[in-house]
Amino acid sequence: MRIAFALLGVSAAALIACSSAPEATAPAAAPAAAGLAVFDPSLIDASVDPCHDLYHYACGGWIKANPIPPDQAVYGRFTELNIHNRDKLHEILDAATAQPTEANRKVADYYGACLDEAGIEAKGLDPLKPELARIDALASKKDLAALVAHLHAIGADVLFGFGAQPDFKDATRNIAGQGAGGLGLPDRDYYFKTDAKSVQQRADYEAHIARLLALGGASPDQAAKQAKAVLALETALARHALDRVQRRDPATVYHKQPVHALDRLAPHFAWAAYIKDSGAPSFADLNIMEPEFDKGLDHVITATSLPVLKTYLRWQLLHAAAPLLSKPFVDENFAFYGKIMRGTKELEPRWRRCVNQTDGALGEALGKLYVEKYFGPDAKERVEQLIGDLRAAYAKDLEALPWMGEETKKRALEKLQAMVDKIGYPAKWRDYSSLEVKRDDALGNDFRASAFETRRRLDKIGQPVDRGEWSQTPPTVKAYYSPLHNDINFPAGILQPPFFSMTADDAENYGSIGAIIGHEMTHGFDDKGREFDKNGDLNDWWTADDAKNFDSRVQCLSDQAGAFVAVDDVKQNGKLTLGENTADNGGLHIAYAAYKARDAGQPETTIAGHTPDQRYFLAYAQKWCTNMTPEAARLQALTNPHPMPEFRINGVVSNMAEFAKAFNCPADAAMSRGEKACRVW
Ligand SMILES: [Zn+2]
């Protein structure tokens, strides 16, 4: 299932902290994934000096012992836990397939259909033929809108994006949003970069489009010509799209206008027909996120011939469907997106791809089964205590900030107190009863799941924002902050070692999950989050002086990150990573203060030769132990707002005098920036 249109990286979140306990079958504590610990002395490489390079000291042993498996491009401790979680979901799905019940029938059928490789091979391109015929039947550009609405519903990312989003200026209401889309490469910059690697990737991309079009029925000659035209069309779209750094600024992507403004920007697309056919409720205003893109879109529609437009739609449809079609499609899709773009050597086993598909399509139905089996109420209680401690430490930090005036401090404290936490899983599970799942129709299931999700989102337009909703599924090994909801969210999947353990001591839990909680809280006060107020509204609550002080302090962080070489000649982007980098730095500071407050007066128990303070920083560092292919490192540096793992350790601890003190580092040590340290929160 694919929903191509992400609005500001936020789809939904909550004001209601979950309070209902899981079913009575929940175990007392989630069993630790085999062999994973929050702090593990055996991962250390003692030949490295922690004052010189904490990352390779804390992770050197792990890095040597964990080469990248052939079916992964990035293998870190997040991946380790994620693979354990996939194994658990695998067991749940196997059991459901063997013994379907009312509660698990849909996930069992979805998974079973995806797993039925023989059935999928036998059908070849047949399941896609009705959709391809629909594109073939397009007789004029006038009828394009209805077709685009249908393709969007089934998950093909063509021409632009459309969906629902909270109104940035009134985050209690959902409005319609429309923005840039329709590109097959990861970012608009990929269409224009002139370095040798990028030029080669574009040539590979064009060849991939040609091969997929040929698998879809074009002759090799035709397909080569068509691929060139598709790449030219996407390049024209990309020319008018904002880049990732520009899109991080909420004000740049907020233009609330009457719906007829779309007709003024792009008069050659039948917007009214599109909106009607999308099934969206009627509305008067919408957020036109990138008006310049829409002007470009209009030009693309008028300047491109009907046959080329149809070829482009055909390509995007084949691209969306490829993972659930027969082997030649799966292999071709992997050859470009897996091997060339990410450096992955082999496809993941089919069962794991199908677990991921089921998690994507029926995430809260599968997640409910996962939570019942693996997430206990005591983990939730302990995490609530951690969050309470972090909140108290954050308040103290805000009150004592030397660079912020009283008025802004008061608003910051209000925002902190209003920040809601959600732990584990949603209080109200999603109702999938209207989604039809067939045991013998993998691609149809995928299209119907996309249509169900697209419709579910469009139905929100004009409705109050549901603050109980989650945008990650319960088994996910991630956490998030939502600026439009001012809430922090921790799925059950991450509340396990190496991030959290009921048996680890405070130094370790505060260093690992504590720093993650602090990270998510700090997102409320990073360069993007600070523009939203306690209600999630885009509303400037800063005095001019305080804003200036903030800007100069984050500039320090941006400069540090921008100097770090990610891979070969590619440096990290200080501006793209600024929000995450601010959150990392703030999170580790606040979690440390919370841990010190919690453990005040406790005896300094040494474990494996490490003091509690040392274990705090080692637990922080060890969650980021990672191996990645050079291709994945390049992709991350160019498109991902998260800094590289090594920088998330060394770049952050070197800003903390508490780290240098814990390890008795000399004043000139690499991990001690001294006077040059950056500090925001
Ligand atoms: Zn983050």
Rounded mean pLDDT for each run of 10 residues along the chain, 681 residues in total: 51 28 36 78 98 98 98 97 97 95 95 98 97 98 97 98 97 98 97 96 98 97 98 98 96 97 98 97 98 98 98 98 98 98 98 98 98 92 97 97 97 98 97 97 98 98 96 97 97 97 96 98 97 97 98 98 96 98 98 97 94 98 98 97 98 98 97 96 96
Distance 481 CA to ligand 1 centre (A): 7
3-state DSSP assignment of residue 398? helix
Interval between CA 64 and ligand 1 midpoint (Å): 27
Ligand 1 centre distance from Cα of residue 527 (Å): 12
Picking from 276, 446, 467, the residue whose alpha carbon sits closest to that of residue 361 is 446
pLDDT for residue 427:
96
Q: Which helix (H) or strand (E) holds 586?
A: helix 578-598
Cα 572 to Cα 391: distance, rounded to the nearest angstrom: 31
Q: Tokens 């303070």 belong to which residue? A: 613
* Contacting residues for 102 by C-beta, under 8 A, at least 6 apart: none
Query: What's the 487 CA to ligand 1 centre distance in angstroms?
Result: 13
Distance 10 CA to ligand 1 centre (A): 12
Tokens of 350: 């089919």
DSSP 207-259: HHHHHHHHHTT--HHHHHHHHHHHHHHHHHHHHTS--HHHHTSGGGG--EEET
CA–CA dist 382, 629 (Å, integer): 37
CA 628 to chain centroid, in Å, comes to 18
| DSSP 8-state symbol, 538 | B
CA dist 9 and 12 (Å) reads 10
- Give me ligand 1 centre to Cα 480, in Å: 6
Report CA-CA distances (Å) from 39 to 149, 350, 574: 50, 33, 30
Q: How far apart, in whole angstroms, are the C-alpha atoms of residue 445 and residue 112?
A: 11
Amino acid, single-letter form, for residue 299 = H
Spatial contact of 450 and 3, defined as CB atoms under 8 Å apart: yes
Find the 676 Cα to ligand 1 centroid distance in Å. 24
Contact 10, 483 (CB under 8 A): yes
**Residues 550-588: b if buried by 16+ CB within 10 A, e if exposed:** beeebebbbebbbebebbeebebbbbbbbbbbbbbbbbb
Active site residue 372: no
3-state secondary structure at position 16? coil
pLDDT confidence of residue 282:
95
Distance 472 CA to ligand 1 centre (A): 14
- Alpha-carbon distance 653 to 585, whole Å? 8
Nearest to 510 by CA among 38, 152, 76, 21: 38
Rounded to the nearest whole angstrom, what is the distance from the C-alpha of residue 680 to the centroid of ligand 1? Answer: 16
- In the reported structure, the alpha carbon of residue 519 is separated from the centroid of ligand 1 by a whole-number distance in angstroms of 6
Other beta carbons within 10 angstroms of residue 443's beta carbon come to 22
Contact 651, 643 (CB under 8 A): yes
> What is the chain's alpha carbon radius of gyration, rounded to the nearest angstrom?
25
Given this model, what pLDDT does residue 18 score?
A: 30
Q: Are 86 and 356 in contact (CB under 8 A)?
A: yes
Using the 8-state DSSP alphabet, how is residue 349 labeled?
P
pLDDT in the model for residue 35: 80
Name the nearest CA neighbour of 529 among 621, 636, 635, 418: 418
CB-based contacts of 655: which residues, under 8 Å, 6+ apart?
Answer: 560, 585, 673, 677, 678, 679
d(CA 178, ligand 1 centre) in Å: 25
How many angstroms does the Cα of residue 168 sit away from the middle of ligand 1? Answer: 20
Between the CA of 313 and the centroid of ligand 1 the distance, in Å, is: 34
Is 584 a residue of the active site? yes
CB 443 within 8 A of CB 1: no
Query: What is the SS3 assignment for 139-179?
Result: CCHHHHHHHHHHHHHCCCCCCEEEEEEEECCEEEEEEEEEE
Residue 478 Cα to ligand 1 midpoint, Å, equals: 9
Q: Say how many Å lie between the CA of residue 581 and the centre of ligand 1.
A: 8
Task: Please name which of 334, 360, 244 lies closest in space to residue 642, comparing C-alpha atoms.
Answer: 244
Identify the pLDDT of residue 678: 98
Q: Locate the DSSP E strands across 524-582.
A: 565-567, 570-571
Beta bridge partners of 62: none
- Provide the residue count of the chain: 681
Question: Which one of the listed residues 421, 580, 584, 646 is annotated catalytic?
Answer: 584
**Cα 163 to averaged position of ligand 1 atoms, centre (Å):** 24
pLDDT for res 3: 60
Query: Rounded to 5 degrees, what angle do the CA atoms 265, 269, 274 make?
Result: 110
Q: Tell which phi-psi region holds residue 328, choosing left (phi > 0), alpha (psi between -120 and 50) or beta.
A: alpha
Active-site residue, from 40, 167, 359, 520: 520
Residues whose CB falls within 8 Å of the CB of residue 245, separated by 6 or more in sequence, listed in order: 573, 575, 576
State the Cα–Cα distance between residues 213 and 141, nearest whole angstrom.
21
Answer yes or no: are the C-beta atoms of 113 and 97 closer than 8 Å: no
CA distance 383 to 381: 5
Please say whether the beta carbons of 172 and 465 come within 8 A.
Answer: yes
Q: How far apart are CA 421 and CA 495, in angstroms?
A: 14
Residue 580 corresponds to which tokens in the numbers above? 């995450």
Classify 540 as helix, strand or coil: coil
Query: What does the DSSP assignment read for 95-120?
Result: HHHHS--TTTHHHHHHHHHHH-HHHH
Helical H segments across 599-643, by residue range: 612-622, 630-639
The answer to whether 674 and 667 are in contact (CB under 8 A) is yes
> What is the predicted pLDDT for the residue at 22?
31
Say how many Å lie between the CA of residue 88 and the centre of ligand 1: 26
- The crossing angle, in degrees rounded to 10, of helices 144-153 and 271-278 is 30
CB 451 within 8 A of CB 518: no
Q: Which residues contact 250 (CB under 8 A, 6 or more apart)?
A: 8, 168, 483, 528, 531, 532, 538
Going from the Cα of 482 to the center of ligand 1, the distance in angstroms, rounded, reads 10
CA distance 462 to 278: 15
Is residue 80 a contact partner of residue 36, using CB atoms and an 8 Å limit?
Answer: yes
pLDDT at 651: 98
Q: Which two tokens stand for residue 203?
A: 């040539």
